Amino acid sequence: SQQGEEDPQALSIQEGENATMNCSYKTSINNLQWYRQNSGRGLVHLILIRSNEREKHSGRLRVTLDTSKKSSSLLITASRAADTASYFCATDKGFQKLVFGTGTRLLVSP
Amino acid sequence: DVKVTQSSRYLVKRTGEKVFLECVQDMDHENMFWYRQDPGLGLRLIYFSYDVKMKEKGDIPEGYSVSREKKERFSLILESASTNQTSMYLCASSLVAEFQETQYFGPGTRLLVL
């Protein structure tokens, strides 16, 4: 069951610009997580937001969650070339069974 | 740092072969997971395990089985490999603890079934 849908599928920006990625899901969740994947490698956890939270920050990352709209957004401020990667949202309906979205490919050009 | 290792980065097998993918974690995590990743489909959960000798089916278990004889090791088995099992396989582990839901991933195994 593919729960998360990410938008856009691909995003190309210049260094220093902000990048915003969106995630929509279908059913109620315990939490929503964002992961990054560098080309052809494993995923790295970025940030987790719980269903009773609306916004969370971690360094240059800002995540919002709107449970009424079943959507989340990830904002990366002041992007760097090293932020080039694929970004995935994952919803946890309970017991850590994550359902991943299809991902957003971010390209940050110098 | 948590380390999750997978036995091979790349693997080429023939149709009908039995294939073992091994995953080892070094942080005493109770939970272990196997996903496959395909273009346009994201990651899909194949099997997971909450404890030794315990396993639960994920979203796409057909054609796969798993084994967890020791806490640190979780094996994915393709009983008779088929070409539609060509994919990237990712293992992950996590703690069973409130507010510790982060999953730690291995580097992945790219499997090609000819």
Mutation choice for B interface testing from A31, A92, A96, A100 by most B CBs within 10 A: A96
pLDDT higher than 90, residue B113:
yes
pLDDT of residue A1: 42
Chain B residues with beta carbon closer than 8 angstroms to that of A43: 43, 90, 92, 103, 105
Is A102's CB within 8 Å of B42's CB? yes
pLDDT higher than 50, residue B111:
yes
pLDDT of residue A41: 84
Count Cα atoms within 13 angstroms, Cβ side, for B78.
26
pLDDT higher than 50, residue B83:
yes
Q: SS in 3 state form for B17-73?
A: CCEEEEEEECCCCCEEEEEEEECCCEEEEEEEECCCCCCEECCCCCCEEEEEEECCE
Mutation choice for A interface testing from B105, B110, B111 by most A CBs within 10 A: B105
Residues of A with CB under 8 A from a CB of B: 1-2, 4, 31, 33, 35, 40-45, 48, 88, 90, 92, 95-103
Cα separation, B63 vs A65, whole angstroms: 36
The amino acid occupying position B25 is Q
Q: What is the mean pLDDT of the segment spanning B70-91?
A: 97
Q: Say which of A2, A33, A43 has its CB closest to residue B90.
A: A43
| Closest among B12, B36, B10 to B113, alpha carbons compared | B12
- Residue in chain A closest to B47 (alpha carbons) equals A97
Mean pLDDT taken over chain A:
92
Cα separation, A3 vs A102, whole angstroms: 9
Q: What is the mean pLDDT of the segment spanning B64-83?
A: 96
Cα separation, A1 vs B112, whole angstroms: 24
Cβ count within 10 A of residue B103 = 25
- Taking only Cα atoms into account, the Rg of chain B, rounded to an integer number of angstroms, comes to 13
Cα separation, B34 vs B76, whole angstroms: 7
Least confident of A35-49, B11-25, B60-74: A35-49
Length of chain B: 114
Length of chain A: 110
Q: What is the mean pLDDT of the segment spanning A5-28?
A: 93
Q: How far is B108 from chain A (nearest CA, A)?
A: 6
Is A42's CB within 8 Å of B58's CB? no
- With bands split at pLDDT 50, 70 and 90, how would you rate the model's confidence at A3? low
Mean pLDDT taken over chain B:
93
Our CA angle for B84, B88, B92, nearest 5°, is 125
Cα separation, B23 vs A77, whole angstroms: 35
B71 touches chain A (CB under 8 A): no
pLDDT of residue A2: 46
DSSP string, chain A: ----EEE-SEEEEETTS-EEEEEE-SS--SEEEEEEE-TTS-EEEEEEEETT-SEEEETTEEEEEETTTTEEEEEE-S--GGG-EEEEEEEE-STT-EEE---EEEEEE-
Q: What is the mean pLDDT of the segment spanning A29-55?
A: 92
